[in-house]
């Protein structure tokens, strides 16, 4: 009975190998080793197929993610460009305002100088008038 079980296992192993196009001769003594190798090969192949399937699923998910993020990337680029343009415009306006402020400050200094001169002239005139009044009286 043991021989029959071993023979059945051996014949099943041979059929499995032939199904995979491994038709080389094997002996009943090496059947145990060959069966372990075959099982490892099948597990490895199944693992490879599972990884291949996962890879395809990840590629699909990445493609969907790219489709979702692409409009956002374009919008971000547009907003970045618009922000840079606005920043440039703000800098330009600030420079113009500083230039105008500088001109106004310069004009104020000139006017202040003229006012001081007029005050001095008025004081001179008043002093001269007092002196004349004193001379007349």
Percent of the residues in the chain that have a pLDDT greater than 90, as a whole number = 69
Q: What are phi and psi of 25, to 5 degrees?
A: -70, 145
A 10 A CB-CB count for 30 gives: 12
**What are the pLDDT digits (tens) for 27-79?**
888 888 998 999 999 999 999 999 999 999 999 999 999 999 999 999 999 99
Q: Sign of the CA dihedral 48, 50, 51, 56? A: positive
Using a cut of 0.75, tell me whether the model's pTM lies above it.
no
**Lowest mean pLDDT segment, chosen from 15-29, 55-69, 101-115:** 15-29
Given a cut of 70, is residue 119 above it in pLDDT? yes
- Core vs surface per residue 100-132: b (16+ CB within 10 A) or e: eeeeeeeeeeeeeeeeeeeeeeeeeeeeeeeee
Q: What is the pLDDT of residue 67?
A: 94
The Cα–Cα gap between 103 and 96 comes to 11
């Amino acid at each position: 009975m043991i021989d029959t079980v071993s023979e059945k296992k051996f014949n099943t192993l041979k059929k499995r190998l032939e199904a995979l196009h491994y038709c080389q001769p094997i002996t009943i003594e090496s059947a145990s080793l060959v069966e372990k190798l075959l099982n490892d090969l099948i597990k490895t192949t199944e693992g490879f197929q599972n990884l291949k399937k996962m890879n395809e699923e990840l590629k699909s998910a990445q493609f969907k993610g790219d489709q979702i993020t692409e409009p956002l990337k374009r919008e971000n680029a547009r907003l970045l460009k618009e922000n840079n343009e606005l920043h440039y415009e703000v800098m330009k306006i600030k420079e113009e305002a500083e230039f105008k402020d500088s001109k106004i400050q310069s004009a104020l200094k000139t006017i202040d100088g003229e006012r001081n001169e007029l005050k001095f002239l008025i004081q001179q005139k008043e002093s001269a008038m007092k002196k004349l009044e004193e001379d007349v009286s």
